[in-house]
A and B are shown apart, each in its own frame.
Chain A
Amino acid sequence: DADVTQTPRNRITKTGKRIMLECSQTKGHDRMYWYRQDPGLGLRLIYYSFDVKDINKGEISDGYSVSRQAQAKFSLSLESAIPNQTALYFCATSRSGRASEQFFGPGTRLTVL
């Protein structure tokens, strides 16, 4: 079984809809992250959480919100989806500590029409 799972894997929605992407991990890591990747570009950080009570905005948090329901679960919400949020979304986890390796999920491909 995968250590970091994301649901759904693919989603097509319409402008204005609220969407939730979910991430679960069985690695026992404290830290979790949400990134988006646009075609031909690198990953950009949306939000990150160093533990259940610690949530921080990343580079591109506008239009997104997150919830850390438990150590193992970190959800990303698009309150009112817009077409330029069409992208590949990745969840990642890491141990606490300096420069810890990140482990990525398989990604969610989101299309906003």
Chain B
Amino acid sequence: LAKTTQPISMDSYEGQEVNITCSHNNIATNDYITWYQQFPSQGPRFIIQGYKTKVTNEVASLFIPADRKSSTLSLPRVSLSDTAVYYCLVGDAARQLTFGSGTQLTVLP
């Protein structure tokens, strides 16, 4: 099972770009990288998923270097409502079932 390492917490200000990096040194060939967002007392919500290079959707971008041993979630111009816990998961199908402790992002006014 690929282990992931993320910062425990990060602070940012409204309007700034936030980058959260996740390390996954033992990622397997078939593994995907997926990020979820969780607000207090709610279930996690899917943000973005990628396999290699760069993926972008309407809320975030995911940067994955060629060796795939890390990934960076980029949130453009954060707002107070982006304050949440962000989880990085690595795996495929049944193996992508470990959430870890996540990164608490606090957006300040």
Stretch at the interface among A11-19, A42-50, A65-73, A79-87: A42-50
Bound-state Cα–Cα, A91 to B93, Å: 16
A42 touches B42 (CB 8 A): no
Q: Which secondary structure characterizes the binding site on chain B?
A: loop
Asked if B101 CB lies within 8 Å of chain A CBs, one says yes
Most buried by B among A58, A97, A99, A102: A99
Judged by a CB distance under 8 angstroms, whether B45 is at the interface is: yes
Count residues of A near B (Cβ-Cβ below 8 Å).
28
**What residues of chain A lie closer than 8 Å to B32, measured between beta carbons?**
98-99
Tally of contacts, chain A with chain B, CB under 8 A: 57
List the interface of chain B (C-beta within 8 A of A).
30-32, 34, 36, 41-46, 49, 87, 91-94, 96-102
Apart from the given pairs A88-B41, A105-B43, A106-B42, 13 other A-B contacts in the complex at a CB distance below 8 Å: A33-B97, A45-B97, A58-B97, A90-B43, A92-B43, A98-B92, A99-B31, A99-B34, A101-B46, A102-B46, A103-B46, A104-B43, A104-B45
Which residues of A line the B interface, CB within 8 A?
4, 33, 35, 41-45, 48, 50, 56, 58-59, 88, 90, 92, 97-107, 109
